[in-house]
Amino acid sequence: MSIKVINSVAELNNATSNGSSVSVIDFHAVWCGPCKVIAPVFSKLASQYAGRVQFLKVDVDKAQDVAQKFSISAMPTFVVLRGSNKIDEMKGADPAGLESMIRRHAPTASASSSGGSVEKGLEGVSVLNSFINNSQVTCLNEDASHTIKDLMKGSGDKWLLSDADEQLLLTIPLQQTTKIRALRFKTVDSAAASAPKTIKLFVNRPNLGFDDAEGEEGAQEIVLTEAQTKGTESVQLRFVRFQSVSALSIFVSDNQGGEDVTRIDKLELLGVTVDGTDMSQLSKGEHDHDH
């Protein structure tokens, strides 16, 4: 994640000199409660859209010339630029609205984090991890030192590891109903033999257990390729079966090398949100503040 703090119009002009680049500015103030509430969402989006969208922050009291340039009157206000030209704006602390606005203007997701052309079939999708309810994610048979909550934090030194055997059962609830088009896994090269191999997916089954996962058909069963376990190729899904997902369960039955434990270093959900199902992190009493 990289968020650049802008302190003057001159700094902003320098940061937005590339006419084709997309930037989003968070106009905020230290005294603004809703600004503090939505700040973690802005940070998550900065991580998800890294390399595609530039994320900037402006303290309206410290950089008054920038706030005046865009006639900012309420905090938070989010402004989208292409180059130095304003193309969109949103007032208020609305996580779903912010994600939707950024998704509309962001360049399409690339085939991998290393860049490159768009994978066929993934045009227009975004990473949906900001909609994961991280406090409610669970994983059966996880190692106590390497849990799913560690994995979802997205830190480079955290990963998910199975415990008693190679199987894992991840349940990932979402704060907003989504259409999931693909998954992206990554296991580091040094642990390639422990990367997941056969996975079975279930939709909206938050109380799924191992017996259910092994005995039932599921929405889709997939054998991952080496490229898919390295994150260089996405795992595209039967889209018709993942049109209204509020919880996704992933049953990992074995790994690539028949190892005792399975390891996942990164997991991303790719797709789009379903309009009209905003389950915002914000309480009803939190509104934008006039300046």
Active site residues: 32, 35
Residue (of 77, 81, 86, 78) closest to 21 by Cα position: 81
Tokens of 171: 């349940």
Residue (of 276, 181, 168) closest to 220 by Cα position: 181
State the Cα–Cα distance between residues 241 and 216, nearest whole angstrom.
Answer: 15
* Cα distances (Å, whole numbers) of residue 243 to 196, 215, 271: 25, 24, 10
Tokens of 206: 């938050």
* Beta strand 74-75 pairing with 77-82: unpaired
